Amino acid sequence: MKQKRRTMLYIPGNNPAMLIHGGTYGADSLLLDLEDSVALEQKDSARILVKNVLKNINFYDAEVCVRINHLDTPFGMEDLKEIIPLKPDAIRYPKTETIEDLKRLVTVMEEIEDQHEISHDEIKIHIMIETALGVQNVFEIAKLCHRLDAITIGGQDLTADMNIKSTKDGSGIDLARKMIVMAAKANKIDAIDTVFVDIDDEEGLRKETEKSKNLGFTGKAVINPRQIDIVHEVYTPTEQEIRKAYKIYKEFKKKRTEGIGVFAVDGKMVDAPVVARAKYTLELAHINLQEI
């Protein structure tokens, strides 16, 4: 089944207490961070800690991703050298701006993978678009390689790059969000929305998550485990929605064998887009389409 990424929990890579419990909060995906949440003098410390943690800590069902430092920094290369052999589910690459950025990352990854006899399609890549240039190039970058599985928008860095204030309604980065979603959708990969920093504002988080879901984001980054349930609720279809989608998909399968492409369910026309949406609802509800 397709990897669920409704929530991606950020965990600072130099923090043992948070790392060892990371897999117990129910997040779909975890981001062990070697980049912005780690002080410059502790990059080596975080790298070694995350390396050990990947080896020895059980993260249960969560997808485990590692955000490395950009290859332009003194840290990125060493991050990849130490982390790739441990085969995390994905590498997240920050501040991806051009197709050269991504190509360079892939080349380095493949070199290291060859050294350790790891196939080139085991470890996925997630990119972060955090600059205006990155936004401009996202369509080109997104179609570049098949191991690219998700695009995330880095709201904090983006507003800094654009020299604008970060507002609660996110109006400044609205276009960026939409372009990233479009690029992700065009390539049938995930789009993950940026963090909501006000941990105590549960209503605000819910509203923003609903907005981003409506835009097309498939999940949201969270910085505190308390945010996980709210995001999951927004992304979980209701009983009613599931029942409807189930009905439509079941009928679709039946009609397909009969060679019929358009039909009616409960008096409403069902064509390809309706079926696609029903499929998506069922996938969100984690229902196995084969079993219908």
- Residues at the site binding another protein, with contacts judged by CB under 8 A: 15-17, 20-21, 24-26, 40-41, 43-45, 47-49, 51-53, 55-58, 74-79, 81, 224-226, 229
Task: Identify the burial level of 263 via C-beta atoms within 10 angstroms of its C-beta, where 0-12 means exposed, 13-18 middle and 19 or more buried.
Answer: middle
For the bound state, the minimum distance from the C-beta of residue 85 to another protein, rounded and expressed in Å, comes to: 15
Query: What letter represents residue 116's amino acid?
Result: H
Please state, in angstroms and rounded to a whole number, the distance separating the CA atoms of residues 97 and 188.
20
For the bound state, the minimum distance from the C-beta of residue 225 to another protein, rounded and expressed in Å, comes to: 4
For the bound state, the minimum distance from the C-beta of residue 37 to another protein, rounded and expressed in Å, comes to: 14
Q: Which is nearest to 142 in space by CA: 150, 131, 153?
A: 150
Please state, in angstroms and rounded to a whole number, the distance separating the CA atoms of residues 23 and 211.
27
Please state, in angstroms and rounded to a whole number, the distance separating the CA atoms of residues 65 and 13.
11
- Rank residues 187 and 224 by Cβ distance to another protein and give the closer one: 224
**CA triplet 74, 77, 83: central angle to 5 degrees?**
125
- Rank residues 18 and 106 by Cβ distance to another protein and give the closer one: 18
- Rank residues 199 and 215 by Cβ distance to another protein and give the closer one: 199
- Rank residues 17 and 264 by Cβ distance to another protein and give the closer one: 17
Q: Are 57 and 31 in contact (CB under 8 A)?
A: no
Contacts of 247 (CB under 8 A, 6+ apart): 265, 266
Going 181 to 90 to 220 to 34, the CA torsion angle's sign is negative
Q: Which runs of E-coded beta strand occur in the chain?
A: 7-12, 29-33, 63-67, 90-93, 124-129, 148-153, 190-193, 219-222, 263-265, 268-270
For the bound state, the minimum distance from the C-beta of residue 72 to another protein, rounded and expressed in Å, comes to: 13
H/E element, 17: helix 16-21
- Rank residues 75 and 235 by Cβ distance to another protein and give the closer one: 75
Dmax over Cα atoms in the chain, in whole Å? 65
How many Cβ atoms are within 10 Å of 191's Cβ, its own excluded? 25
- Rank residues 6 and 51 by Cβ distance to another protein and give the closer one: 51
For the bound state, the minimum distance from the C-beta of residue 161 to another protein, rounded and expressed in Å, comes to: 23
238: left (phi > 0), else alpha (psi -120 to 50), else beta? beta
For the bound state, the minimum distance from the C-beta of residue 227 to another protein, rounded and expressed in Å, comes to: 9
For the bound state, the minimum distance from the C-beta of residue 177 to another protein, rounded and expressed in Å, comes to: 27
- Rank residues 40 and 264 by Cβ distance to another protein and give the closer one: 40
- Rank residues 1 and 40 by Cβ distance to another protein and give the closer one: 40
For the bound state, the minimum distance from the C-beta of residue 118 to another protein, rounded and expressed in Å, comes to: 20
